[in-house]
Amino acid sequence: MTSAGQSPRESRTLNQVVGPPSPTFSYGGGRGSAEAAPARRITPGINLRRVLRVGSWNVLCLSDDHRLPLLSGELSRLRVDIVGLSETRRPGSGETSSGGYTYYWSGMSNDHRVRGVAIGISSKLQPSVVEVTPVDERIMRVRMKHTLGFMSLVAVYAPTEMRKTEEKEMFYAKLDCIRPVSSSGHTHCLV
């Protein structure tokens, strides 16, 4: 998301999450050997001071893994960091990686290939994932750590106006239950 006043260079910068510190080596020191020195510790999590591109996409069908490289290529081309996907039509729930993205999905539990939601996260941000909560074929949540606290991404595929009133009321009741309690340092994003 780019806001007014940012330079073009800032809008092209992708978030980078650095894992645990690794030793760095210094050659020299007068003894002719390598010396290990601790690396600078960087707080893990998404840096919210940088541009984070978030999108949503109704993919119509993502039931087979052979379609994931095409999707990943398009997301990379558009420099999308996080994407909410609807109508994935994948059964059950799970996780898979392809082309620099990790996809978490939630679908029908009875092997029917209808509806379904997913969240795709860039490999650079994937270490920030703390919790994945698949609710049903219409709602799922991914909780991530960022520099100031936590961020909850909720992917939804809402029932249309043509659906029965009971189904729509059940959807919104589940959505209210999954919504985290507001607290300082917790960011919410509905995709």
CB 90 within 8 A of CB 114: no
The reported pLDDT for the residue numbered 183 is 67
Q: What's the domain range around 126?
A: 54-190
The answer to whether position 36 is within a domain reads no
Residue with tokens 């249309």: 160
Coil/strand/helix, residue 132: strand
The answer to whether position 29 is within a domain reads no
The answer to whether position 15 is within a domain reads no
The reported pLDDT for the residue numbered 46 is 74
The answer to whether position 18 is within a domain reads no
The reported pLDDT for the residue numbered 94 is 86
The answer to whether position 140 is within a domain reads yes
The reported pLDDT for the residue numbered 44 is 62
Per DSSP, 26 falls in state: E
The reported pLDDT for the residue numbered 115 is 82
Query: Which CATH number characterizes residue 160's domain?
Result: 3.60.10.10
The reported pLDDT for the residue numbered 122 is 93
The reported pLDDT for the residue numbered 112 is 66
CB-based contacts of 117: which residues, under 8 Å, 6+ apart? 84, 85, 86, 88, 105, 106, 107, 137, 138, 139, 140, 155, 156, 157
The answer to whether position 156 is within a domain reads yes
The reported pLDDT for the residue numbered 25 is 32
Written as tens digits, the pLDDT of the chain (191 aa) is 444 444 443 333 333 333 333 333 333 344 444 444 444 344 467 776 778 889 888 887 777 777 888 989 999 999 999 999 988 888 888 888 899 999 998 887 777 667 889 999 999 998 999 999 898 888 899 999 888 788 888 898 888 888 899 988 988 888 888 765 666 677 778 88
CA gap 161, 93 in Å, rounded: 26
The total of structural domains in the chain comes to 1
The answer to whether position 117 is within a domain reads yes
Q: Which of 43, 12, 20 is nearest to 146 (CA)?
A: 43
CA gap 148, 167 in Å, rounded: 37
The structure tokens listed for 106 are 């939630």
